Structure 1
Amino acid sequence: MTVGEGVLLGSYGLATGIGAVVALVVWRHRGKTGALPLAGALVGTVIVSGSRFVATAADSYALSVLMERTLYVGIGLSVAAIVVFALVYTGRERYVTPKTIGLLSIEPLLVVILAFTNPATVFFESFEPDPTLATGVGVEWGPAFVAHTLYSYLLLAGTTYLILSFLISSRALYRGQALALLGGTTVPWLANAVHVVGPVTADTTPIGYVLMGGLNAIAIVRYQLIDIVPIARDRVLDTVNEGVFVVDRDDRLVDINPAGRELIGAETTNSLVGTNVETIFASDPALRERFHELTASKEPTRVQLAYDGADYEVRATPITDDRDRHVGWLLLVTDITDRKHRERELRRHNDRLEEFAQVVSHDLRNPLNVASGYVDLARETNDPAHLEEIEQAHDRMETIIEDVLELARTGEPVTDPESVSLEAVATQAWDSVETGEATLTVQRDVHLQADPSRLTRLLENVFRNAVTHGRPDGGFDGESARSHSPIEVTVGPIGEPEADSLEGIFVADDGVGIPESERDRIFDSGVTTGADGTGLGLSIVEQIATDHGWSVAVTDSEDGGARFEFTGLESVSRDQPRDAASQPDPQRP
């Protein structure tokens, strides 16, 4: 063996050893992104270098010919695998599909078949013993080999382009990796070209593999290739929950992610890119105005706005180029509907806590002071008449405490409503209230979705308000000449009987009514016109209605009294027929 052959043999052996070691290291991290195709490419180089090593070291002509055929297994594997790795590494893994891998596998499999069968000398025109060559085998290549070489060079050139373009556009964190990989990808096929189309008769490809293995080792050890692989921009934008809009200086949309498309109801990105914001939001002048407010300044801006029934926070950040020139805007749109709802709930709970504190500190203190005063008088005078005053003060405190507890039990949304009969629940509520000679009439029964117990408490409070304050001597200033006959209360649905769904329900009385000037505040806690009232009854009514998602309003009844209307009922069925014998008396004393 000559000195030159010894150098080649050492180079082939070194390339085989380095490739095997690096492939083993990468294989141990095969769960990491891109590791598996990189390991496949390195195994391919081991097969090529190993085949050349065996062919050079062997004295058998037949073995050398076999190795000449075997090395194309490694070439096909390494080329296909490095293409897949480049796609994954540069953020184009969406193209790495079973179909793509299948297409990439066709040419290597065909080459292996041709290399071992060589029908009609299509791949190798001839093998001849040649002692002047290191492997001892002279090869004349056929047309299939030429096609294979051009195809492989085309794929490797594309791979080089992908990594080079990534190197140019990547952040500093990845440039060392990309530069090492660029060298590791480019050097082997350039070394192969020197052998195939150049003046060098010995195969110099394994020498390129030595450099490839060294550069891959640098990328792994120095630049943490296996541990830190670039995350594709598309992957980030596609998975982020916020809507991302990129707008240029001319207010044209230049990029948008899937979350952004969903916000504005667009199906594809291509249908929007290049479109002016004025056109996209042509039907919403208010939204266009907010956009211009956001982009009026070149400073980061943040606003909150309502759109299509939801609440959003929009953050606008100016985008500058390498020369610090303003080129556009990055808009991040976050759905804050749940957060705003929680904030409203927190404010509502805080308001209720203030109401409780006021009741405890003021409303309870007054009857307590009264009771204490009469206790002192009873001790001084031994007059038992003062005990009645004390008892009244205690009754007053008990009423306040019951109302406060009732208000505390409200405030949570109704999540599991049931179908309830309006007539049945109204009758039950009426029987629970001291109504004296007042009468209740259920105009027409319907079945509605509600929490039975809470709806009962709502009606109890409305009935109690009507009975207590419906006449001039017990409520708002009204027609003092109105008859002092018993109050008549009517309950019924709002809407036509023939309708498939009803608008709501009402409770009306024939009392003195509620002056229009008082209607805006009657649902406020503490508002009462009676000496014995707590001012919490109608506040509880409004809260229970809110818990159901209903709205409550007060107006005049047909008889001039008060009419409470509850609307926004989610589900109200049509009248349900019942046997006449089972119907309760529609007018109850």
Structure 2
Amino acid sequence: MSPQVQFWLYVVPLMAAAVISAGLTVVVFQNRHKRTAPQILGVLIGASFWAAADALRLLSSDPSLQLFWHNVRFLGSTVVVLSAFLHALEYTNRERWLRPRWVSVAAFIFVVTNLLVWTTEPLGHELIRAGAETVAVGSQTVLEFEHGPWFFINAAYSYLLLVAAVAMYAFEALQRSGTYRRQAAALIVAMAVPWLLNLVYVLGYVVVDLTGFGFTVTAVVFVAQLYWFQLLDVVPVARGTVVNHIESGYLVVDPEGRILDANEASAELFDVPRDAIIGQTIDEVFETLPEIVERFGDERDVRDIITIFRDGDRYDYDVDISPVYDSRDRYVGRVVLVRNVTEQRRRQRKLEERTEALERQNEKLDRFASIVSHDLRNPIAVANGHLQIAREDGDEESFERIDESLERMDDIIEDVLALARQDDEITDPDEVSLSDLCTQAWTTVDTNGATLDVQTDATINADRGQLRRALENLFRNSVEHVGDDVTVTVGDLSDGFYVADDGPGIPEDEREKVLESGFTTSETGTGFGLSIVSGTADAHGWSLDIASDDDGGARFEFTDVSVVERADSTPGAPASMWEE
């Protein structure tokens, strides 16, 4: 081969590489908004500078020009290496390392290298070039330089970044399958081309370093992946973006229970760095949540919510496990998603409680509407009718009927207000003396000649106001249905108390009905007194049963009552006796 032909075999590929890289730079720049396009632009610009500088150095006969293009070559090489490394970070979804601060750290050695390159002759140091000699490249004589210590630091750092980039691509290839694995493999091959050309030069098979040409091949593969295979619009970039931004902790677990992949949410969930999670067993990662392993340890396809109690606090976790099969339908692992849903579940429970409370309020409103539209209408109509008669003839009996109707309305309104003010749940009960409260309630009821026999000195936890209204309604109910000579007894039960009278009692088939709003067998009753009693028991969490007393009367038994204390007294001996 003639020296002239040999010379052009080096120059032509380098010039072609520079032109191709420059042309692709224009194309990619027009699509610079796409993800990793900035890094690919860096590789293209660096490769074009590198290849053009090597070609022009070969074409130059002036030693000073050769020195100049040698300096430009360093600018191209450092930009290529840094951009290739940043591309690997972006491609493998390690965006947190692409912040300006970290990029500046990664570029520091390259910045120092270029400063030393351009100050070698002015300052006379030998950190980059320690000497020079001429070599023949075909028919041309070219300067070759002896390297100084910083050159080797720069070279070692460059290889370190390129090895890291290839390692990231390789890890991504191992995690992916199908088209996406082939994409990552193509990037590894593209990164290998300049290495091989550099190795051929270092071993002395060629006299010109064609690494710049090799990085142009790398850049072409990057661009091909970007446009032909839609690298940035699909997995792995899209997959990584989604996985790293979902709220659930994401784990890929092999059949032996070892974790192969994890996202940032899992690192936050287990308070362990993401890199520390990968390689551990699932038992080790869930050491702080062993209940999840016990419940889902061998599960392959399940979704459920597990509740864990720690130090009196409740924690809820949504666990979703899906099996992974290879192309031969063999089980190769699981994807485990774990999300802390404690706050969501707490809000859900509050909403459910609020909904139930509103439903109860609606029921009350319905009952109130019924009272207003029906129960009050009758006494109002009676009062209006007799008022008309009284206006015409002044009949005394009409005035009495009007007075009765007004009293009837007053009773209904009082019961409606009692229902409206009644809480559905007692949250802050007081210690109440049952004997004293019975006495107070008895004095506010029109009992005529009736008798109250209190046979308890128990102190219980209750809402004083609600319990007093309930007792008043029980006492009033006994007087209205039995008569003025009734005796009402209040006594102890093992876990509560009872209120009984000595009347005819309540038929067994009516005992549930009497507790319903509006049910009454009396012409003067509102039908809401015993409903108030039932609501009071429910609000306290007590049980209310209607039975027959030993004397045959009605007996209301309140159980599951929180009894604070009982006084020592002779069983059956009355604590107090009231007569009207």
Distance verdict in 2 for CA 1:483–1:305, change over 3 Å = same
Q: Is the 8 A contact 2:537 2:558 kept in 1?
A: no
Query: For the aligned residues, what is the CA RMSD?
Result: 5.9
Q: Is the 8 A contact 2:14 2:54 kept in 1?
A: yes
- Which segment is superposed worse, 130-139 or 158-167? 130-139
What corresponds to 1:139 in structure 2? 144
The one of 47, 50, 61 equivalent to 2:49 is 47
What corresponds to 1:346 in structure 2? 355
What corresponds to 2:322 in structure 1? 317
> Within 1, Cα distance between the matches of 2:169 and 2:371?
77
Cα deviation code 1:66-115 (max 9, x no counterpart): 11132112212321332232133223455667786566445434543554
What corresponds to 1:532 in structure 2? 526
Gaps (5+ residues) in structure 2?
A: 433-439, 448-461, 491-495, 502-511, 545-555, 564-580
What corresponds to 1:205 in structure 2? 211
Q: Is the 8 A contact 2:40 2:223 kept in 1?
A: no
> Within 2, Cα distance between the matches of 1:14 and 1:58?
17
- Which segment is superposed worse, 165-174 or 20-29? 20-29
What corresponds to 1:19 in structure 2? 21
Say whether residues 1:127 and 2:135 are aligned partners. Answer: no
The one of 464, 467, 472 equivalent to 1:467 is 472
Q: Is the 8 A contact 2:190 2:218 kept in 1?
A: yes
Matches for 1:157-172 after TM superposition, within 5 Å:
157-172=163-178
What corresponds to 1:219 in structure 2? 225
> Within 2, Cα distance between the matches of 1:158 and 1:536?
78
> Within 2, Cα distance between the matches of 1:318 and 1:162?
26
> Within 2, Cα distance between the matches of 1:265 and 1:474?
69
Cα deviation code 1:242-263 (max 9, x no counterpart): 3556666677888776766777
Matches for 1:479-494 after TM superposition, within 5 Å:
none
Distance verdict in 2 for CA 1:101–1:255, change over 3 Å = closer
What corresponds to 1:447 in structure 2? none
> Within 2, Cα distance between the matches of 1:273 and 1:102?
36
What corresponds to 1:307 in structure 2? 308
> Within 2, Cα distance between the matches of 1:354 and 1:360?
10
The TM-score with structure 1 as length reference comes to: 0.61
The AA in structure 1 aligned to 2:17 is A
Say whether residues 1:273 and 2:281 are aligned partners. Answer: yes
What corresponds to 1:62 in structure 2? 64
> Within 1, Cα distance between the matches of 2:411 and 2:247?
55
What corresponds to 2:93 in structure 1? 91
Distance verdict in 2 for CA 1:258–1:162, change over 3 Å = closer
The AA in structure 1 aligned to 2:62 is S
Matches for 1:539-550 after TM superposition, within 5 Å:
none
Q: Is the 8 A contact 2:50 2:73 kept in 1?
A: yes
Q: Is the 8 A contact 1:114 1:122 kept in 2?
A: yes
The AA in structure 2 aligned to 1:138 is L
Cα deviation code 1:422-465 (max 9, x no counterpart): 99xxxxxxx9x994799xxxxxxxxxxxxxxxx9xx76544433
- Which segment is superposed worse, 382-391 or 198-207? 382-391
Query: Which is greater in Rg?
Result: 2
Q: Is the 8 A contact 1:90 1:232 kept in 2?
A: no
> Within 1, Cα distance between the matches of 2:141 and 2:249?
66
Counting matched residue pairs gives: 494
Alpha-carbon distance, 1:240 to partner: 3.3
Report the 3-state secondary structure (helix = DSSP H, G, I; strand = E; otherwise coil) of the residue aligned with 1:84.
helix
Distance verdict in 2 for CA 1:525–1:12, change over 3 Å = farther
Say whether residues 1:193 and 2:199 are aligned partners. Answer: yes
Matches for 1:286-297 after TM superposition, within 5 Å:
290-291=295-296, 295=299
Alpha-carbon distance, 1:301 to partner: 3.3
The TM-score with structure 2 as length reference comes to: 0.62
What corresponds to 2:236 in structure 1? 230
Gaps (5+ residues) in structure 1?
A: 424-430, 439-454, 488-507, 514-520, 546-550, 568-589
> Within 1, Cα distance between the matches of 2:54 and 2:302?
64
Identity of matched residues, %: 21
- Which segment is superposed worse, 37-46 or 98-107? 98-107
Report the 3-state secondary structure (helix = DSSP H, G, I; strand = E; otherwise coil) of the residue aligned with 2:229.
coil
Alpha-carbon distance, 1:270 to partner: 8.0
> Within 2, Cα distance between the matches of 1:202 and 1:565?
98
Distance verdict in 2 for CA 1:172–1:264, change over 3 Å = closer
Report the 3-state secondary structure (helix = DSSP H, G, I; strand = E; otherwise coil) of the residue aligned with 1:275.
helix
The AA in structure 1 aligned to 2:302 is T
The AA in structure 2 aligned to 1:343 is E
